[in-house]
Amino acid sequence: MYDFYFADRESICARPEDFLIFCKRLLPRWANGIPDSECIALWRILKSLPKQAPTLVETGSGASSLALFLHAALNGGKVFSWDTNASKGAYLRSVISDAMCRVLEVDIHKIWTFIPFNSTDPHVGISALKEMGLTADFGFFDSWHVLDHLLQEIDHFEKVASPKFVIALDDAYYTMKYQNFAYVNMIRQKLGLRRVDEPQDNRCKPFYEEVDSHLRGRYPVVEKIQDEYKQLYAKDLSLAYYESNREFTNLVGMEDGSKLDHRFDAWRVS
Ligand SMILES: C[S@@+](CC[C@H](N)C(=O)[O-])C[C@H]1O[C@@H](n2cnc3c(N)ncnc32)[C@H](O)[C@@H]1O
């Protein structure tokens, strides 16, 4: 169903970004949660990782999984994705198998592990990589967008991180501490319920500031990556394509068009 032909392996190796966006555009909206510009920025950061065959971690699967998978398929390495929505894993597996694995002649099961559970579970969350004898080189965090959960995910990640690692965030400008009222209000709107106000104590600094301070408090070398999302997003076709839906997501606070510069942020740490 998803085995649309792009080009042979050699041409894919020559134009991997075009192939990545070609595959991303096969996805429906519910599994395509980041714009093309962010997917490209993610891809370019992966290319800059110092380790050959790195271990890549993500929380919240979707288009980002395609970027991580393609990097591992072309360069070696492994991908671990945590998402509580098991159907998303099954769906993405079918897209990756058809669209990527066939032409690249790789076995999805040797590269990608999807864990359909809470990313911070003490037994099968991110820190379980330790029991598998692995260290993580890259983490992309895009699951439940509240600071408390995000910092827990980063804490788990740090327990298994390599001495040099990179972390990246989606929706890094969000400022919700313990409850995602934007998401809750989106659901309430669909249920025909009135909007609930966010209590003051749910407010925190933007995630990119909180995470920056967290990392600088723990590691001697923390470099903010000059990611390319910030140059690319103004001309991003995928953002224009979903414009009508974005009016609603802006209204309930799931997106803030004025803060898009910090939708994506990343750090190199050692
Ligand atoms: C915004 S979507 C991810 C988008 C994806 N990165 C992409 O590129 O399309 C967020 C995902 O996080 C998952 N999620 C929410 N809370 C979670 C948790 N505690 N552990 C793991 N996954 C979670 C949801 O099921 C949802 O699929």
Ligand 1: residue whose CA is nearest its atom 16: 144
At residue 46, does pLDDT exceed 80? yes
What percentage of the chain has pLDDT greater than the value 70?
A: 100
As a whole number, the mean pLDDT across the chain is: 95
User: Which atom of ligand 1 approaches the CA of 171 most closely?
Assistant: 1
At residue 92, does pLDDT exceed 80? yes
Q: Model confidence over 97-138: pLDDT tens digits? A: 999 999 999 999 999 999 999 999 999 999 999 999 999 999
Dist. CA 118 → ligand 1 center (Å) = 10
Bridge partners, residue 80, by sequence: 57, 113
Dist. CA 84 → ligand 1 center (Å) = 7
User: Which atom of ligand 1 approaches the CA of 140 most closely?
Assistant: 6
pLDDT band per the 50, 70, 90 thresholds, residue 64:
very high
Question: What average pLDDT score do residues 22-30 get?
Answer: 96
Q: Which amino acid is at 149?
A: H
Q: Where are the alpha helices (DSSP H) in the chain?
A: 9-14, 16-24, 36-47, 63-75, 86-95, 102-104, 108-111, 147-160, 181-191, 207-216, 229-232, 237-241, 243-251
The pLDDT score that the predictor gives to residue 259 is 83
pLDDT band per the 50, 70, 90 thresholds, residue 40:
very high
The pLDDT score that the predictor gives to residue 250 is 75
**In order of start, what are the domains of the chain with their CATH numbers?**
9-269 (3.40.50.150)
Dist. CA 11 → ligand 1 center (Å) = 32
pLDDT band per the 50, 70, 90 thresholds, residue 242:
confident
Dist. CA 142 → ligand 1 center (Å) = 6
Ligand 1: residue whose CA is nearest its atom 20: 118
Question: What average pLDDT score do residues 211-223 get?
Answer: 98
Element (H, E) at 266: strand 264-269
Name all residues whose Cβ lies below 6 A of ligand 1: 32-34, 59-64, 82-85, 88, 118-119, 142-144
pTM of this prediction exceeds 0.85: yes
The pLDDT score that the predictor gives to residue 251 is 73
Higher pLDDT, 261 or 166: 166
The pLDDT score that the predictor gives to residue 9 is 94
User: Which atom of ligand 1 approaches the CA of 33 most closely?
Assistant: 9
Q: Can you read off the two tokens belonging to residue 174?
A: 């969000």
Dist. CA 40 → ligand 1 center (Å) = 19
Strand, coil or helix: what is 53? coil
Give CA–CA dist 257/260, Å, rounded. 6
Q: Model confidence over 10-21: pLDDT tens digits? A: 999 999 999 999
Dist. CA 13 → ligand 1 center (Å) = 29
Ligand 1: residue whose CA is nearest its atom 5: 62
